[in-house]
Amino acid sequence: MSDTVATAEPGYAAARERPPAGLVGPWAWARANLFSSWWSTAITLVLVYVILRALVGFVEWAFVNAIWSVPYNAQGRPDTAVCQNAKGIGACWAIIGDKYRLILFGRYPYEEQWRPAICVLLFIGLYVVSAMRRFWRKELALIWIATLAVIGVLMWGGVFGLQEVPEDYWGGLPITLILATFGLAFAFPLSVLVALGRRSKLPAIKLLCVLYVELIRGVPLISVLFMASVMFPLFMPAGVNVDKLLRAQIAFILFAGAYLAEVVRGGLQALPKGQSEAADAMGLTYWQKTGLIILPQALRLVIPPLVNTFIGFFKDTSLVLIIGLFDLLTMGKVALSDPPWQSFSTEVYVVLAIIYICFCFAMSKYSRGLEQDLNRARRR
């Protein structure tokens, strides 16, 4: 590198333009950060050793010594003796091969599982399309409605010659995605309204919003879910039967709404008062001002905490297991209750973790890109 500088622009000017060689590059970085003293050198070496050992150990367990399949007996039951022998030395991925459909789709009728599979793909497609700014127009709402309608038809069936599948048989990834997607899709607009309401000049609206946020935030999600599943039916008139999934969904929306409202309110508060005054002075109505000036700026400011909350709630969908819904994580547990596989929980949880990480990492990565994208225009 130093010679390219020298040929391009020799002498004093070149020396001034770049830091002297030896202060840049990976070696210089390592020397400055990892080996700056005998003490830090020692820590670096110990850490490198520990990390390498862990890595080698994992690779040996997950790949080198792993068992990928097991023999089945005449009754179709797996014989997991090989796995039992390899326990602690190698992973038993055979359990995943045996149980992945149960984990992903729950007790949904086996021959019909192509339907939830398509639904999962539709959900992912919906996320991808919604993520592209190119599609951010009114038509997107129609795409959502249409896709969700198709998902509903596929899951329930009962029309177009599809076998009817009641919700009690749903489970696995579709349940997780349904709860997360509907939950956040409804909770987010709700939270915006509540955040605006908390700053309302009308005392009644303000009080209502404050009460809602404080009450919901004051109790654990689990108890909200319990209330929704146990107490809520008591308040309903006789004969009205709101099903369990819908009740959990509503509880989830209310809960996420309260948290998101506080995040949104943070963004509203961060906006200088002048923005609102300028909009007022121009004669914009409250909703015009809010929709065109306040929210676009406020939401942009809170993308990181907003996505943080989204990710948190995506994972919190797993709490529905306590009211007897079978989401992805719960299905993992169910799969493990099968006697031959009982001792292979690590393998199942590793796979579940990878699935959760894929979704959460995608959200996080996307939000960072979006933030940069939106802020590019308004750099100072």
Partner 1 sequence: MSQAAFADAPVPHRIDTNAPPAIVLDKVNKWYGTMHVLRDVSMTVAQQERVVVCGPSGSGKSTMIRCINRLETHQEGRILVDGTELTDDLRALDTIRREVGMVFQSFNLFPHLTILENCTLAPIWVRKMPKAEAEELAMSYLTRVKIPDQAKKYPGQLSGGQQQRVAIARALCMKPKIMLFDEPTSALDPEMIKEVLDTMIGLAESGMTMVCVTHEMGFARQVADRVVFMDRGEIVESGTPQRMFEDPQTDRLKLFLSQILRGH
Residue found under tokens 């177009």: 160
- Of these, 84, 113, 297, 364, which contacts partner 1 (CB under 8 A)? 297
* Given 16, 134, 138, 378, the residue binding partner 1 (CB under 8 A): 378
Residue 159 interacts with partner 1 (CB under 8 A): yes or no: no
**What's the closest the beta carbon of residue 279 comes to partner 1, in angstroms?**
8
> Which residues ranging from 56 to 95 are in contact with partner 1 (CB under 8 A)?
none
Q: Which residue, chain included where needed, has tokens 């770049």?
A: 18
Nearest in space to 351 (alpha carbons), one of 12, 44, 91, 14: 91
Regarding 296 and contact with partner 1 (CB under 8 A), the answer is: yes
Given a contact cutoff of 8 angstroms between Cβ atoms, the answer to whether 95 and 68 are in contact is no
Token pair belonging to 29: 């970085």
- Residue 48 Cα distances to 33, 41, 309, 369, 375, angstroms: 14, 10, 34, 32, 38
Q: Does 200 bind partner 1 (CB under 8 A)?
A: no
Number of residues that bind partner 1 (CB under 8 A): 21
Q: How far is the CB of 319 from partner 1 (least distance, A)?
A: 37
- Range 103-142, binding partner 1 (CB under 8 A): none
Give the range of 177-185, 242-250, 346-354, 371-379 binding partner 1 by CB under 8 A. 371-379
Alpha helix locations (H) across the chain?
2-8, 12-17, 25-33, 38-59, 81-86, 94-105, 114-131, 139-156, 173-198, 203-217, 221-226, 232-235, 244-270, 273-281, 286-288, 295-301, 303-316, 328-336, 345-376
Question: Using the rule CB under 8 A, is 380 a contact of partner 1?
Answer: yes
Among 1, 204, 354, 377, binds partner 1 (CB under 8 A): 377
We find the least distance from the C-beta atom of residue 304 to partner 1, in angstroms, to be 17
Q: Which of 31, 107, 199, 300 binds partner 1 (CB under 8 A)?
A: 300
What is the SS3 assignment for 181-237?
A: HHHHHHHHHHHHHHHHHHCCCCHHHHHHHHHHHHHHHCCCHHHHHHHHHHHHHHHCC
Binding mask 273-292 for partner 1 (x = CB under 8 A): -xx-xxxxxxxx---x---x
Q: Give the span between the Cα atoms of 18 and 9, in whole angstroms.
A: 11
- Which residue, 218 or 283, has its beta carbon nearer to partner 1? 283
Nearer to partner 1, 2 or 285 (CB): 285
Residue ranges in contact with partner 1 by CB under 8 A: 272, 274-275, 277-284, 288, 292-293, 296-297, 300, 377-380
